[in-house]
Amino acid sequence: MCMILGLTGGIATGKSTVTGMLRERGIPVIDADQIAREVVEPGKPAYEAIVRHFGRDILLEDGEINRKKLGEIVFSDEAERQKLNAIVHPEVRRVMREEAEAAEANGADIVFMDIPLLFESKLQYMVEKIVLVYAPADMQLARMMERDELEEEQAHKRLKAQFPIDQKKKDADFLIDNSTTREETERQVEKLLAELRAELKS
């Protein structure tokens, strides 16, 4: 029996800190963003479909997709953005399921799927429980401005593109509050894993 959990957060809530802690403890974490990059590599089915739809103009000289160029197209045209998502998302979900099955076959009892836009993309059905890495919105804003050297207005825009963190908080099964110290976050990760293991035994 293997439990599949969704791990999500918001921009600059510190989700990568938590994934690092889970991996240090030998817990498999399947990274949706990483897989999304892999499925559009040359030769992959999603790559072929993207080139068929968007044309060869979006390719770099070496045949890789020019992300900047593709980004400009899809962020200025909602229909094109949806078309891209319709190509990429099913592939990402398929690979994530395969990786989860492989982890279970290797004896993992707990597997995390790291899905940044879990709620926004309505992917709750892919996981049994949802763990939210939380930091209050004002802290997200301050961290983003510092980390990405953004003006406040730019940071606000990015924050607005995601569901509000407090809305996600209501819909999550577990919360890891990453607004204080690293040690405190680590303590919460330990507590969460203990709870999950106890649940698996019961």
- State the Cα–Cα distance between residues 7 and 30, nearest whole angstrom: 10
Using the 8-state DSSP alphabet, how is residue 4 labeled?
E
| 180 marked among binding-site residues | no
Confidence at 156, pLDDT banded by 50, 70, 90: confident
Q: What is the DSSP letter of 59?
A: B
Backbone angles phi, psi at 183, to 5 degrees: -60, -40
Annotated binding residue at 76? no
Residue written as token pair 């996981």: 127
What percentage of the chain has pLDDT greater than the value 90? Answer: 85
17 Cβ contact list (under 8 Å, min separation 6): 133, 178, 182, 185
User: How far apart, in whole angstroms, are the C-alpha atoms of residue 47 and residue 67?
Assistant: 12
pLDDT band at 97 (very low <50, low <70, confident <90, very high): very high
Confidence of residue 26 (pLDDT cuts 50, 70, 90): very high
Find out whether 68 is annotated in a ligand binding site.
no
User: How far is residue 12 CA from its own chain's centroid?
Assistant: 12
Q: Is 181 annotated as a binding residue?
A: no
Q: How far is the C-alpha of 68 from the C-alpha of 34, rounded, in Å? A: 17
Query: Binding residue per annotation — 14?
Result: yes
Confidence of residue 116 (pLDDT cuts 50, 70, 90): very high
- Residue 202 annotated as binding site: no
**Bridge-based pairing state of the strands 29-31 and 174-177:** unpaired
pLDDT computed for residue 159 by the predictor: 86
- Residues 65, 59 contacting (CB under 8 angstroms): yes
What letter represents residue 195's amino acid?
E
* pLDDT tens digit sequence for 158-195: 888 889 999 999 999 999 999 999 999 999 999 999 99
What is the Cα–Cα distance from 114 to 6, expressed in whole angstroms? 6
End-to-end CA distance of the chain: 12
**Continuous H helices in the chain:** 15-24, 32-38, 45-54, 67-75, 78-105, 137-147, 152-160, 165-171, 182-201
Q: Is the pLDDT of residue 150 over 90?
A: no
Segment 50-77, tens digit of pLDDT: 999 999 999 999 999 999 999 899 988 9
pLDDT of residue 148: 85
